[in-house]
Structure 1
Amino acid sequence: MISPRCPFPAGPGWLALLLMACLLALPAAAQERTAVIGARATLSDWSDPLEALGTLEAEESVTLSATVTETIAEVAFEGGERVEAGELLVRLDDAEERADLRVAEARRDERRDAVTRLARLQERNLAPRAQAEDSRAQLRQVEAEIDALRARLDDYRLRAPFDGVVGFRRVSVGTLATPGMELATLDKLDRMKLDFRVPEVALGGLAPGLPLTAESAAYPEARFSGSVAAVGTRVDPVSRSVPVRAVLPNPAGRLRPGMLMEVTLQRRPRQALVVPESALIPEGERHYVLVIHEDEDGRIERRRVRLGERRTGEAEVLEGLSPGELVVSHGVERTRDGARVRLLGIADETTSVRDLLEAGRGQGDA
C-alpha cells in the first residue's frame, strides 16, 4: 500500500524511514519560526518642521567714528580681541582742549577765592550784596565752561559702548580723522540675531518662543538651537511672506554676522507616539503594522493604524497603537497575521538593526 503524501510502502520496517522522509519534505517555515527584529512604539518629542534660509546679525553692532577733525594719537587695539564696555579704543590728539580745560580750571579757582572773600566782607557789611552775587554768577559760568570742555574731550576718546569683539584695525597713529570716518567696529557675539522669512500660510503657527534649529555649511556636523524672538507685523504683498527674527546663543563665538543659515522651525511641539517607518505596511491610503504579542508566545497581529506627520526614518501614529507595544520593524515581508515569530531583539537608541542582524547571523539566522 502506498501513502498518498510520502511515497514509501507501509510496514514495520519502513516506519522510521517514512517519518524521516515526511519531516524532510516539510517546508522550513513549519520547522522553525521566522526570526524578526522588533521596535517599541514610544512617546517622543515631535514637531512639524518648516524650513527656511536666514542671515545672521550680531545682537549689538556699532561702527565707531570721529565727530571732530583731529589726528589720531593712540590706537589701543589690534583687532579681533574682546573688549569691555568703557574700554578705550582710539584717542585723538586733544592737547589743545586739555590746555583750554586747565585754563578754565584756574579761572574757576580764582572765582572761588573771589566768592569766598566777598562772602566774608558781606558778613561784616563791607561789600555790596550785588557784587557778591555777581561773583557767584561768574563762578557758575566758569564751572559750566569746564563741564562743556570735559564733554568735548570725550569726543576725542572713542570707548567701547558695550562688551564685544572689536574688528580689524584699519587706522594708524598720525592719521587725520574727520567726522564720519570709520575708526573701529564692535560686535556683541554672545547671542546672534537670525532673520528669515516664511510663507504667509505658516503665520498661524508662529509665535515668540517657538524652538528652531539652524545649520551652516561652515560647520556641517553642528546644529545650533534657538527660539523665535519676534514675528514681523507686515506680510510682503509680493512674496506673500512674513519676516521672522530668532535668537541663537553663541557662547563659543563660532557664528559670525552675515552667515547664511538653514533654519528648521519646530512648529506645534508635542509628545507623539512614534514607530520606525520600516514597520509600516502601506496598502493604498491605508497603513498597517504587525504587532508582536509577547504574552502569547510571539503571535503576530496585523493592525491598521492612522498616521500623522513623518520625519526621516520615523512616523507619527495617531490611532491604532499604544505606548510600549512591540511591532515588527525588520522582517515584515517574511511573516503574516496569526503567525508566531522568534524575536532576535529590539532596536532602540542603544541597539541598531545592524547589530541585531549580525548577532542573528552568529546564531545561524540568515
Structure 2
Amino acid sequence: MLSRYRAGVAAAGLAIALAGCDRAAHPAANAAPIPVTVQTVATQSWNTTVQSIATVRARESVALTAAVSDVVDKVYFESGDDVKAGQLLVTLRGNSQQAALNAAQATYEEADQLYRRQQELIGQQLVAKSTVDTQRALRDAAMARVAQMRSDIGDREVRAPFAGVLGIRQISPGSLVTASTVIATLDDIERMHVDFQVPEAQLGLVKLGNEVSGVAAAFPGERFRGEVSAIDSRVDENTRAVTVRADFANPARRLRPGMLLDVRLYQPERQALVIPEIAVVQVGRESFVYRVKADDSVERVDVRTGERRDGKVEILDGIKAGERIVVDGTGKLRPGLKVRGEADGGAAPAPRPRAAQ
C-alpha cells in the first residue's frame, strides 16, 4: 500500500516537472498577448520631394545711385515708400549746368535766326550757298550743345527705374553724393525669386512648373508656395549642384529679399505604400517591421524604405497592402510573441484575417 502511494507521488512530481520544462521551452506560447497598436498597410497618394535651403531675391532689385557727383537739392521720398516707374526721387543742384543750358539755348536761338534769314536771301542770290551751309552747321552744333546740357541736367535727377518699394533713405538735402553713394534700395517684391541648389544626382527630378513650398523661420507654421521657373544651364564643378529658381507670389509682402527658406520641390502625386515612421525598427543598417500573422503572433520582416516625411515613410519592398503591422509597441516584441492589437488611433481592433482551415 505504501509502495503504491510512493509511486503515485513520484508520477505526479514527474508530470509537474515535465509541464514546467515545456513552459520553459515555449515561453511565447504561454505568455499573455502583448497590447500593441496595429495598422493595416494600404496605398495612398505620395510625392517624392527634393529638400534644400533657398535664398529669397526680389524679382527686380537695385541700389539707387546718382550718375554724377553733386550736392543733393531735394528729396521726394521717405523710407519704405511705394513708387512708380519713372517717379522722381532726388534732384541735385546743378546750378552751373542750368546756367550753361541757358547759354547754349541762347546760342542756338541766335544761330537759328541767322540761318532762317540766309535761307530767305539765298533765293535772291544775295548770299552764297556755302555761307548758308556753314550757318546750318553752326545751328546744328548749337542744338547738339543744348541737348548735351539737358542730358547733364537729367543726370542730376534720380528716378525709379521700375515700380517697387524703397528701403531706408541714406541721404538728406545738402549731402554731397558721388556715383558710388547709395541713395536707397529699390525692390519689386510683388513676386519673389527663390534660388536653391539641387544635387546633380537629383537633377532628373526637376522640371519647369514643379510645385515648390517653403517655410521661413520668421513665420513658423506658414507655408509659402511657388513653382519652378528656371533651371541653370550649368552644374557647378565644385559643389556638383545646379541652381534652380522658383517664382513665389508675395501679395502680403511677407517674403523679403535675403531671407532663407527651407524649400521642398514636389513631384507629381503617385500611389505608394506609406506607414508611420515609428513602425520601422532600425538596427544598424537593417530596417524591419513586425508583421502580425493570422494567429496573432508576430514575425520580423525586413523592409526597404524610401523617402521619409512628416512622420511617415515610404516602403519600397518587404510588405504588401492588406497586411497588418505593429505601429506602436515594437520595443517589447520578438518573433513568435502573440499580440493583442488595437487599430491605429486606438478606436477599434484592427481587422484580422481568418486562419486557413
TM-score by length of 1: 0.67
The equivalences for 1:95-174 within 5 A come to 95-174=95-174
The equivalences for 1:328-343 within 5 A come to 330=345, 333-338=349-354
Q: How far 1:271 moved relative to its partner?
A: 4.2
Q: Distance in 1 between matches of 2:84 and 2:290?
A: 61
Q: Is the 8 A contact 2:275 2:315 kept in 1?
A: no
Q: Is the 8 A contact 1:54 1:194 kept in 2?
A: yes
Aligned residues: 283
Q: Distance in 1 between matches of 2:237 and 2:71?
A: 50
Aligned-residue sequence identity (percent) comes to: 37
Q: Is the 8 A contact 1:75 1:89 kept in 2?
A: yes
Q: Does 1:50 align with 2:66?
A: no
Report the secondary structure of 2:150's partner residue: helix
Q: Is the 8 A contact 1:77 1:89 kept in 2?
A: yes
Report the secondary structure of 2:198's partner residue: strand
TM-score by length of 2: 0.68
Aligned partner of 2:310 in structure 1 is 312
**Larger displacement relative to structure 2 (136-145 or 312-321):** 312-321
Residues 54 and 307 (structure 1 numbering): CA distance in 2 closer, same or farther, change over 3 Å?
A: closer
Q: Distance in 1 between matches of 2:44 and 2:150?
A: 66
Aligned partner of 1:77 in structure 2 is 77
Q: Distance in 1 between matches of 2:89 and 2:40?
A: 61
The equivalences for 1:25-44 within 5 A come to 44=45
Q: Distance in 1 between matches of 2:93 and 2:40?
A: 75
Q: Distance in 2 between matches of 1:60 and 1:321?
A: 50
Q: Distance in 2 between matches of 1:281 and 1:161?
A: 57
Q: Is the 8 A contact 1:211 1:228 kept in 2?
A: yes
1:210-259 deviations in Å (ceiling 9; x for gaps): 21101001111211111222223333344333222222111111111111
Q: Distance in 1 between matches of 2:57 and 2:350?
A: 55
Q: How far 1:118 moved relative to its partner?
A: 0.8
Q: Distance in 2 between matches of 1:264 and 1:289?
A: 35
Residues 76 and 40 (structure 1 numbering): CA distance in 2 closer, same or farther, change over 3 Å?
A: farther
Q: Is the 8 A contact 1:39 1:275 kept in 2?
A: no
Q: Distance in 2 between matches of 1:330 and 1:76?
A: 63
Report the secondary structure of 2:271's partner residue: strand
* Structure 1 residues without counterparts, runs of 5 or longer: 1-36, 291-305, 323-327, 340-366
Aligned partner of 2:88 in structure 1 is 88
Q: How far 1:85 moved relative to its partner?
A: 0.7
Q: Distance in 2 between matches of 1:245 and 1:314?
A: 28
Aligned partner of 2:249 in structure 1 is 249
| Counterpart residue identity of residue 219, structure 2 | Y
Q: Is the 8 A contact 2:114 2:135 kept in 1?
A: yes
1:173-197 deviations in Å (ceiling 9; x for gaps): 1111123222222111111121222
Q: Distance in 1 between matches of 2:178 and 2:305?
A: 67
Aligned partner of 2:211 in structure 1 is 211
Residues 38 and 203 (structure 1 numbering): CA distance in 2 closer, same or farther, change over 3 Å?
A: closer
Aligned partner of 1:272 in structure 2 is 271
1:14-41 deviations in Å (ceiling 9; x for gaps): xxxxxxxxxxxxxxxxxxxxxxx99997
Residues 312 and 97 (structure 1 numbering): CA distance in 2 closer, same or farther, change over 3 Å?
A: same
* Structure 2 residues without counterparts, runs of 5 or longer: 1-37, 282-286, 294-303, 323-342
Aligned partner of 1:234 in structure 2 is 234
Q: How far 1:51 moved relative to its partner?
A: 1.2
Report the secondary structure of 1:103's partner residue: helix
Aligned partner of 2:224 in structure 1 is 224
Residues 274 and 320 (structure 1 numbering): CA distance in 2 closer, same or farther, change over 3 Å?
A: closer
Q: CA RMSD in A?
A: 3.5
Report the secondary structure of 2:233's partner residue: coil
